[in-house]
Structure 1
Amino acid sequence: MKLQHYLGGLEGLPSPLALEKRVFVEEWEKRIFGIHVAMMGLSNHLGSAAPGYPIDSVPTTFADEWTWADLRTGAEGMNPFDYFKFRYYEKWLGGITAFFVDKGYVTEEELAARMAEASSATPATDIPEIDEQVIAYLRSGDTPRRDTAHPTFAVGDTVRIANPRTDAHSRLPGYLRGRIGTVERIFEGDYAYFCETGDGIGDPMPIYIVAFDPVEIWGARAESGPLSLYAELFEAYLEPMEES
């Protein structure tokens, strides 16, 4: 999570923030969501996912991997000023578009031409095998491999949050790096992440809920009162406290 993804560590944000409660504000947003879901349902990693999918037999020209991690990587790579300027699904559209251009599925010139013809766009042709695969994905998901939990830490342990090298994508909020918290809960399994993030996660490992005192994070500027901040963190992001 880069700059624009850990608002808890930023100052000077507009006040009050506008919190939109509707899932879709414009009709076109539903289509962007559908494109993303279809890409996930046709991603080539599904052949080894649990449960298994017959992805190799689906007649699709989409031959790459696309997961939530890829979508988030596109958003995290945006200029922070653009990130705050664009709407939620505009960020999705930007990430998806950049992916298709980078992978060679479409050129920028072709995109410009299609935008000019948008009013007369041709509806997509239904292919039953593709429709069935996407529906199967929607019903079953692509839950990463789970195993019995093998936690290094126990509930009540005091831990320090690691400060690993940041790569293209991370699941660690920047404002928690180096902070001290307490393990509140351990999830029941070991969980994998479908891509190697470069900062320690990828292979199956336990996930914890860690509680933080706001003063530990924000110092004297923290609001007063019996407040706590909770974060779900992969084990790779936790370090034991050295005994004094």
Structure 2
Amino acid sequence: MKLQHYLGGLEGLGPVSTETRVFVEVWETRIFGIHTAMMALSPQLPLPETPSTFKTIWTWADLRKGAESLNPFDYFRFRYYEKWLGGISGYFIDNGYITAEELDALTEEFYNEPSKPLHEAGDEAIDRRVVQYLVEGDSPKRNVGVTFEFKVGDTVAIRDVPTVEHTRLPGFLRNKFGTIETVYDGAYTYLCDTGPDGVGAAMPVYCVRFEPSDLWPDNAEKNFSLYADLYARYVEAPEAAEASKAA
């Protein structure tokens, strides 16, 4: 999440949308359904084989990277599921399922004839796999041995890790200090390796408590705390942070 993809904690950004509906228009439900089917049919999952021609890996990470690759001005201009549509469309083109020309032609066809029935398809094996995926999910928790560097009550510093493509670390927490509130059992991984960002193999995850007055000095409400679940890669001992700055 580079700047335009993670606006939490920033000031002076103007009015905030208070839209609470999950889907505003009917077409958005179809985009959500397409994404869910792609997740369920992704070949890395240990689910029954199907006759689906979808044979490439698709995860939440791919969806996010597709949206985040948009020009920042387009990112702000498009609505939520429009970003999804752009990311999914780009993925299908990049992986050879359809060409940009074919997609443009189909789009023009439906623009010219909006009432034209949409393509209908169905296969019981595919339907069962999608349902099984929705029931079982794809938990990031892994049963591997890990070492927990911190315990509840420890003060930790938040790293300012390099980000090239995607990060799970909110920008406004970087270089701040917090307190370990919870040490989650087990080890956790993300849906894909985040490269220089550092989330790859399964690692501990900590719930860290922050005081708003530390995040936004002289400009924060009182009597509440902010909590963030952070991968171990993103936290370090305060002494280590100070040593890095001095080096």
Structure 2 length-normalised TM: 0.88
Q: 1:100 aligns with which of 69, 92, 107?
A: 92
1:145 is displaced (CA, Å) by 4.2
Q: 1:213: how far off?
A: 1.8
Indicate the residue corresponding to 1:195 in structure 2.
192
In the alignment, what sits opposite 1:60?
A: 52
Tell me if the contact between 2:42 and 2:57 (Cα under 8 Å) persists in the aligned partners: yes
The 5 Å alignment of 1:107-122 reads 107-118=99-110, 119=114, 120-122=116-118
Instruction: Give the gaps of 5 or more residues in structure 1.
Output: 47-51
CA distance in structure 2 between the partners assigned to 1:187 and 1:133 by the alignment:
30
Q: Quick one: distance in 1 between partners of 2:9 and 2:226?
A: 13
The alignment partner of 2:34 has SS state of helix
Match of 2:137 in 1: 141
* Corresponding residue number in structure 2 for 1:81: 73
CA distance in 2, matches of 1:237, 1:130: 39
Displacement after TM superposition at 1:200 (Å):
1.2
Deviations 1:137-168 (A, max 9, x none): 11111113422764211011111111121021
1:109-144 Cα distance to aligned partner (Å, 9 max, x none) = 111111122232542321222111111111111113
Residue number among 123, 139, 153 corresponding to 1:127 in the alignment: 123
Aligned residue pairs: how many?
235
Structure 1 residues 144 and 24 mapped into 2: Cα distance closer, same or farther (>3 Å)?
Answer: same
Tell me, in whole angstroms, the C-alpha distance in 1 between the residues paired with 2:47 and 2:17.
41
Shift of 1:63: 1.4
Instruction: Please tell me whether the aligned partners of residues 179 and 217 of structure 1 are also in contact (alpha carbons under 8 angstroms).
Output: yes
Displacement of 1:9? 4.1
Match of 1:235 among 232, 236, 245: 232
Alpha-carbon RMSD across the aligned residues, in angstroms, is: 1.8
**2:5 counterpart of 1:5:** yes
C-alpha distance in 1 between matches for 2:17 and 2:149:
40
Equivalent residue letter for 1:205 = M
Which amino acid in 1 is paired with 2:176? R
TM-score, structure 1 as length reference: 0.89
- Cα distance, 1:4 vs. partner? 2.0
State the partner residue of 2:211: 213
Match of 1:49 in 2: none
Look up the match of 1:180: 177
**Deviations 1:46-97, CA, capped at 9 Å, x for gaps:** 1xxxxx313xx32121111111111111122222322222111111111111
State the alpha-carbon separation in 2 of the partners of residues 145 and 235 from structure 1: 14
Q: What secondary structure sits across from 2:220 in the alignment?
A: coil
User: SS of 1:193's equivalent?
Assistant: coil
Which position in structure 2 is the counterpart of 1:153?
Answer: 150
Question: Moved runs in structure 1, 4+ residues, more than 6 A?
Answer: none
**Shift, 1:13, TM fit:** 1.4
Aligned-partner Cα distance in 2 for 1:7–1:158: 25
Matched-pair identity in %: 53
- 3-state SS in 2 of match to 1:82: helix
Read off the aligned partner of 1:34 and give its amino acid letter.
Answer: G
Counterpart of 1:167?
164
Distance 1:10 1:84 in 2: 15
- Which is further off, 177-186 or 113-122? 113-122
